[in-house]
């Protein structure tokens, strides 16, 4: 056996990965799928980001791997597998970053070997041959040296483009939504030379953040949040306040030269199966414009549309009622009484700001919530990849993203459970105090904690930046159960508890992202593509069957030429690359046969 | 002798630097200046950036070094000299980056040994103890974790500061001029917590670039141009167009949270010797405001005020006349005739744009000009420090700046002459063609080329980005000599040549930067501080005596609490650090005894 031999002869991790890659490549080159598959362990997982499958797809176990290679080996023509950095070994698992080529592109990835068999393999397309991004050594010159046949200045050319794009010329791609997702993708498409427009309803880029409740800060730290090409500066705060992020996004849009239509609302969109193009009606600051893009990307916020509960008495309540997404902050309610319905991130942030501004505030907890202190999450959850410590140890954003992506979702919870066990131990006193105050805690269905909750359901947690102490101390009051009704001046719970209120904030979450597709294109298309986000983990709010990847995100959907994009800043950064490469390939006519297009199991 | 011993025993460069530093430090610690000075070669040069001298000062030879140490050793308390990176040897010269401490700060620097004696030593203050910038591991948190005693959001705090600074609170420093110099310094002072305002006459930051002639691009490449904290992204052009730089500066100002007053003109300034503060009257968009800063920094452009020649007939000339700084570009002159007076950078840029837009253009060369092709300058002049090649070899901006700063001006030309000899060889055909077209070429008084011309006189050259071919081909016409007069429709030269003209552009340069001080504060103060820029090299337009450093730049002047700042993007980046540290030290009351305050030898 190869692995026994390897062990016996004391091969280095480097040797072992090199040998594996050489054997694997030889099998692929010979078209010998059985031999290639035999290089994988029986419980192996191969995650592919667009390199082999033109999809975001994890194949699990030898049968699925064989099936995928049977479909895609011939067209992919993989070659040149090699180690990118020194391989390492830890606990019997040998790991290495790798590089490889395909017929049309260059790929990077990551390999883990157990007993000299592949346990996890990540293959990710990095760039398309002949369509490399102009950056670093290939960056554009800017000034034209020598006599210039086009005497227009950069500003004049930009202005001419702005005036024609969407009118006399059509964008190949239309991105609806100009938050971090839309502009990160817009920046990448710009770099790749794909004509694209980002449209957004707000007045300025960044208003998506500026217009939220005033105490909002990022809950993810700066090292996790860099956008493509332009990292935050070294004096950027760990947790940026919302207005500062807003300014950055505005800056970023301009610097990256992303064509961006502000004050623009999409009215309708329809796909023509014959011409394979969309017809999208938009209102651009009062002007009606018809756009005819080939690709339509919804980057309208991972959260979907606000979920506003319908409750008896909402019509008679005399105070103010806001969904959390529209809550302006505490200033108008000083000295008054507020009820915040919900107990996740927004509920805590809003309740904290209300309390600190002299509002009497009660939080209504309807179901248990997972709480993690921000510093514990930073140190134990993200620290190895995204922290100043990681930077000092040579961890780049690209390597961190690849490492993060290299753990298939099927086994990710196994890596998360010990992290949250350690956090539970570390912060025991904190959790005891919260529980003593009556706060109902959970750690996810399988104790896998915050990140798995985020991936599975996008809700059910609070990253504590101080509100939990206020809850534990009784400064933010706590109530429990469902809301039965509102009266003119109170919120009445199912058990009859009456909470006097001048303000009710519904921190009640959001619907599925395909709700936006329903509004824009029609319920038939929303149903055709189905639920967005979630893994099919068969846990609370993430029904099975198992999907293996996020539903519908950054990959082809059941609706031709319709895509979903977004997520937190990390996802907007990393996955915009794969979406941009898929769109670029289609733009230049590179064949993109999709392997394993996901079926739809849930409508929303 | 130490050096003989070192040679004989085959010590590594690392050993030799370590030994030198240990001996040097021991001598300093013992207060034994003679012993310390004996560590230097007789032709040695010690360049200090604020670390020992609270000045920007090069002391030359053992006597000057002894004098400086005699004045400053006791107060500086230098210690902890150590190598920062592996020492190297090249051609008998051992080089190393070093680090050290002083009583009040931490320093970095660079050492060159010849025969185990110091040939060049750079000592540069990097930060003040107890006043380190919050960045990297010490960056601010942003969000306040735990209950926040100040419930205002970041945006509200910023707004409150904007409303009070300059009205109910006074800035410690006032920076006049908001180009790259002003905002780079503004960003550093912000980081250091020094209350400062940048005032500028334009509508928006970046207008200093936007409002120049439309074909303007940077002539320095991107690697040379990064501003502090926030480097340009990897997709930034090599030579950025003016409007793109303008946008970058505008957003840089915002991202760095630099207090910046647009549309603000300084009307007058006067210094009170008793209170040691300035009274500065400004017009802020129509509102009269009196500011009372302690430190006043003129960052009004290194070029000083435009030099507009007075010529007979200017009043009867029927066409348009612009100084180059106010020339709008070719658009209004298509099909007409233009005369550009001058043959340096702006003259070439403007003539090229005029020609390319169908204007008949003649350039009047009044004296010989130094021409270097941009790509030759990039490859041979800057490539080792500022290029994609340098980045790939591990050269950071900080290391490049330190290396650049480590060559004292006294010997810099010796390093430059071989570079320009190589360029002259490489581009021989190009220069022959230019000469054949009648263009009068020079290479500087001592053949040391472009960079020394820039440092000595800030003029006399063109970095060729295409105009020279147009000159060589006769497409941009050439005339020679001084201008005698203008008529209603022509420019008449001293030899009687008559050049028909609808447009005359005076690319005739700028006065000394202390001209701004004359306007703002008074001729007496302008005369007191004297000429700004130049080295006293006793070459054309840079009269002696030798100064050793740039006159009046980034260092104390003969007018207490008056400073000059600016230069190209490289200088604005690097030297803003030393100016900011000098101002910060004064702000917090750290003693700053200035060694070797420069005398004034020229008024302008």
Band the pLDDT of B6: cuts 50, 70, 90.
Answer: very low
Identify whether the C-beta of residue A71 lies closer than 8 Å to the C-beta of residue A94: no
Residues in chain A with CB shorter than 8 Å from the CB of B153 are 214-215, 241-243, 329
Q: Is the pLDDT score of B145 beyond 90? A: no
Lowest mean per-residue pLDDT among A64-68, A303-307, B389-393: A303-307
Band the pLDDT of B379: cuts 50, 70, 90.
Answer: very high
Q: Is the pLDDT score of A266 beyond 50? A: yes
Once rounded to an integer, what is the mean pLDDT over residues A489-502? 97
Q: Is the pLDDT score of A173 beyond 80? A: yes
Average pLDDT of the residues of chain B: 95
Band the pLDDT of A301: cuts 50, 70, 90.
Answer: confident
Q: Is A363 helix (H, G, I), strand (E, B) or coil?
A: strand
Residue A581 has a pLDDT of 98
CA distance A242 to A212: 8
Place of tokens 């970046």: B206
Q: How far is A34 from chain B (nearest CA, A)?
A: 42
Test B353 with A151 for CB contact under 8 angstroms: yes
Q: How far is A425 from chain B (nearest CA, A)?
A: 21
Once rounded to an integer, what is the mean pLDDT over residues B230-235? 96
- Comparing CA positions, the residue from A42, A49, A66 lying closest to residue A118 is A42
Looking at the DSSP bridge assignments, the partners of residue A321 are A504
Once rounded to an integer, what is the mean pLDDT over residues B359-371? 98
Which one of B137, B140, B150, B153 would you mutate to disrupt binding with A, by most A Cβ within 10 Å of its Cβ? B153
pTM of the model: 0.94
Q: Is the pLDDT score of A193 beyond 50? A: yes
Q: Is the pLDDT score of A339 beyond 70? A: yes
Once rounded to an integer, what is the mean pLDDT over residues A320-348? 95
Q: Is the pLDDT score of A5 beyond 50? A: no
CA distance A88 to B581: 44
Once rounded to an integer, what is the mean pLDDT over residues A183-210? 97
Q: Is the pLDDT score of B79 beyond 70? A: yes
Test B145 with A214 for CB contact under 8 angstroms: no
Residue A604 has a pLDDT of 84
Partner-chain residue, chosen from A145, A247, A374, that has the shortest CB–CB distance to B255? A247
- Comparing CA positions, the residue from B451, B430, B489, B469 lying closest to residue B571 is B451
Q: Is the pLDDT score of B194 beyond 80? A: yes
Residue B150 has a pLDDT of 83
Residue B514 has a pLDDT of 86
Once rounded to an integer, what is the mean pLDDT over residues A43-57? 98
Identify whether the C-beta of residue A194 lies closer than 8 Å to the C-beta of residue A131: no
Band the pLDDT of B141: cuts 50, 70, 90.
Answer: confident
Band the pLDDT of B9: cuts 50, 70, 90.
Answer: low
Once rounded to an integer, what is the mean pLDDT over residues B538-562? 97
Q: Is the pLDDT score of A1 beyond 60? A: no
Q: Express each pLDDT in A526-545 by its tens digit.
A: 999 999 999 999 999 999 99
Residue A9 has a pLDDT of 61
Partner-chain residue, chosen from A137, A158, A388, that has the shortest CB–CB distance to B137? A388
Test B388 with A330 for CB contact under 8 angstroms: no
Residue B3 has a pLDDT of 41
Partner-chain residue, chosen from A250, A251, A388, that has the shortest CB–CB distance to B136? A388
Once rounded to an integer, what is the mean pLDDT over residues B372-391? 94
Q: Is the pLDDT score of A205 beyond 60? A: yes
Partner-chain residue, chosen from B140, B158, B466, that has the shortest CB–CB distance to A145? B466
Once rounded to an integer, what is the mean pLDDT over residues A503-518? 91
Q: Is the pLDDT score of B30 beyond 70? A: yes
Identify whether the C-beta of residue A178 lies closer than 8 Å to the C-beta of residue A155: no
Residues in chain A with CB shorter than 8 Å from the CB of B241 are 142-143, 153-155
Which one of A132, A143, A467 would you mutate to disrupt binding with B, by most B Cβ within 10 Å of its Cβ? A143
Phi, psi (degrees; rounded to nearest 5) at B431: -70, -35
Test A229 with B229 for CB contact under 8 angstroms: no
Test A217 with B247 for CB contact under 8 angstroms: no
Partner-chain residue, chosen from A140, A151, A374, that has the shortest CB–CB distance to B356? A151
Q: Is the pLDDT score of A3 beyond 50? A: no
Written as six digits, the tokens of A29 are 């080159």
Residues in chain B with CB shorter than 8 Å from the CB of A136 are 234, 388, 391
Once rounded to an integer, what is the mean pLDDT over residues B464-487? 96
Q: Is the pLDDT score of B5 beyond 50? A: no
Q: Express each pLDDT in B238-276 by its tens digit.
A: 999 999 999 999 999 999 999 999 999 999 999 999 999
Residue B2 has a pLDDT of 38
Q: Express each pLDDT in A545-588 by its tens digit.
A: 999 999 999 999 999 999 999 999 999 999 999 999 999 999 99
Residues in chain A with CB shorter than 8 Å from the CB of B248 are 255
Q: Is A318 helix (H, G, I), strand (E, B) or coil?
A: coil
Band the pLDDT of B580: cuts 50, 70, 90.
Answer: very high
Once rounded to an integer, what is the mean pLDDT over residues A14-19? 97
CA distance A63 to A67: 6
Partner-chain residue, chosen from A136, A244, A255, that has the shortest CB–CB distance to B154? A244
Residue A4 has a pLDDT of 39
The DSSP code sequence of A413-466 is HHHHHHHHHHHHHHTHHHHHHHHHTTPPB---TTS-HHHHHHHHTS-SEEEESS
b/e per residue A489-501 (b: at least 16 CB within 10 A) = ebbbbeeebebeb
The DSSP code sequence of A74-138 is HHH--EEEEESS--EEETTEEEEEEEEE-SSEEEEEEEEEETTEEEEEEEEEEEETT-----GGG
Average pLDDT of the residues of chain A: 95
Residue A345 has a pLDDT of 93
Test A235 with B357 for CB contact under 8 angstroms: no
Written as six digits, the tokens of B270 are 């006067």
Once rounded to an integer, what is the mean pLDDT over residues A161-177? 98
Test A147 with B469 for CB contact under 8 angstroms: yes
Band the pLDDT of A10: cuts 50, 70, 90.
Answer: confident
Q: Express each pLDDT in B335-356 by its tens digit.
A: 999 999 999 999 999 999 999 9
Which one of B234, B377, B389 would you mutate to disrupt binding with A, by most A Cβ within 10 Å of its Cβ? B234
Test B239 with A142 for CB contact under 8 angstroms: yes
Q: Is the pLDDT score of A6 beyond 80? A: no
Percent of chain B with pLDDT over 90: 92
Q: Is the pLDDT score of A2 beyond 50? A: no
Which one of B132, B133, B134, B142 would you mutate to disrupt binding with A, by most A Cβ within 10 Å of its Cβ? B142
CB-based burial label for B57 (10 Å; 0-12, 13-18, 19+): buried
Once rounded to an integer, what is the mean pLDDT over residues B475-493? 97
Test B234 with A388 for CB contact under 8 angstroms: no
Q: Which ipTM value was assigned to this complex? A: 0.91
Q: Express each pLDDT in B268-316 by its tens digit.
A: 999 999 999 999 999 999 999 999 999 999 998 866 678 999 999 999 9
Once rounded to an integer, what is the mean pLDDT over residues B51-68? 98
Q: Is the pLDDT score of A383 beyond 70? A: yes
Residues in chain B with CB shorter than 8 Å from the CB of A391 are 136
Q: Express each pLDDT in B487-534 by its tens digit.
A: 999 999 999 999 999 999 999 998 888 888 999 999 999 999 999 999
């Amino acid at each position: 056996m190869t692995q026994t031999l390897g062990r016996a002869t004391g091969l280095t991790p480097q040797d072992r990965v090199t040998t594996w890659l050489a054997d694997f490549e030889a099998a692929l080159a010979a078209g010998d799928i059985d031999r290639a598959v035999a290089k994988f362990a029986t419980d192996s997982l191969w995650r592919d980001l667009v390199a082999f499958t033109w999809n975001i797809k994890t194949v699990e176990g030898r049968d699925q791997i064989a099936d995928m290679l049977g479909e895609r080996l011939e067209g992919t023509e993989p070659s040149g597998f090699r180690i990118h950095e020194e391989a390492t070994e830890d606990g019997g698992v040998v790991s290495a970053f790798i590089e490889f080529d395909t017929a049309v592109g260059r790929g990077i990835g990551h390999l883990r070997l157990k007993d000299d068999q592949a346990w996890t393999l990540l293959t990710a397309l990095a760039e398309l041959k002949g369509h490399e991004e102009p950056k670093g050594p290939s960056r554009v010159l800017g000034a034209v040296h020598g006599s210039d046949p086009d005497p227009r200045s950069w500003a004049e050319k930009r202005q001419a483009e702005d005036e024609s794009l969407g009118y006399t010329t059509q964008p190949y791609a239309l991105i609806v939504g100009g938050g971090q997702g839309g502009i990160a993708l817009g920046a990448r498409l710009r770099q790749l030379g794909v004509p694209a427009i980002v449209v957004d309803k707000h007045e300025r880029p960044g208003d998506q953040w500026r217009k939220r409740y005033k105490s909002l800060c990022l809950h993810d730290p700066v090292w996790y949040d860099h956008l493509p090409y332009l990292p935050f500066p070294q004096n950027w705060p760990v947790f940026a306040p919302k207005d500062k992020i807003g300014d950055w996004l505005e800056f970023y849009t301009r610097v990256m030269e992303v064509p961006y239509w502000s004050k623009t609302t999409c009215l309708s969109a329809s796909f023509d199966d014959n011409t394979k193009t969309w017809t999208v009606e938009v209102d651009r600051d009062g002007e009606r414009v018809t756009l005819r893009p080939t690709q339509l990307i919804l980057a309208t916020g991972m959260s979907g549309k606000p979920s506003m509960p319908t409750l008896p008495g909402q019509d008679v309540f005399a105070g103010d009622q806001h969904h959390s997404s529209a809550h302006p902050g505490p200033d108008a309610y000083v000295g008054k009484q507020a009820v915040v319905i919900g107990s996740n991130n927004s509920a805590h942030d809003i309740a904290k700001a209300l309390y600190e501004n002299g509002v009497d505030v009660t939080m209504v907890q309807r179901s248990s919530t997972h709480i993690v202190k921000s510093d514990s999450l930073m140190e134990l959850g993200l620290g190895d990849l995204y922290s100043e410590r990681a930077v000092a140890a040579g961890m780049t954003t690209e390597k961190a993203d690849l490492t993060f992506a290299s753990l298939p979702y099927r086994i990710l919870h196994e890596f998360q459970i010990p992290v949250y066990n350690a956090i539970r131990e570390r912060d025991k006193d904190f959790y005891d105090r919260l529980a003593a105050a009556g706060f109902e805690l959970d750690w996810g269905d399988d104790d896998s904690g915050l990140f798995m909750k985020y991936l599975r359901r996008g809700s059910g947690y609070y990253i504590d930046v101080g509100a939990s102490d206020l809850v534990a101390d009784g400064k933010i009051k706590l109530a429990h159960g469902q809301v039965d009704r509102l009266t003119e001046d109170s919120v009445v719970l199912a058990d009859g508890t009456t909470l006097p209120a001048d303000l009710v904030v519904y921190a009640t979450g959001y619907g599925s992202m395909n709700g936006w597709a329903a509004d824009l294109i029609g319920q038939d298309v929303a149903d055709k593509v189905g639920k967005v986000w979630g893994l099919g983990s068969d846990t609370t709010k993430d029904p099975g069957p198992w999907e293996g990847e996020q539903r519908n995100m950054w990959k082809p959907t059941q609706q031709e030429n319709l895509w979903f994009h977004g997520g937190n800043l990390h996802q907007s950064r990393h996955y915009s690359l794969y979406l941009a490469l898929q769109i670029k390939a289609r733009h230049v006519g590179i064949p993109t046969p999709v392997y394993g297009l996901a079926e739809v199991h849930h409508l929303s």
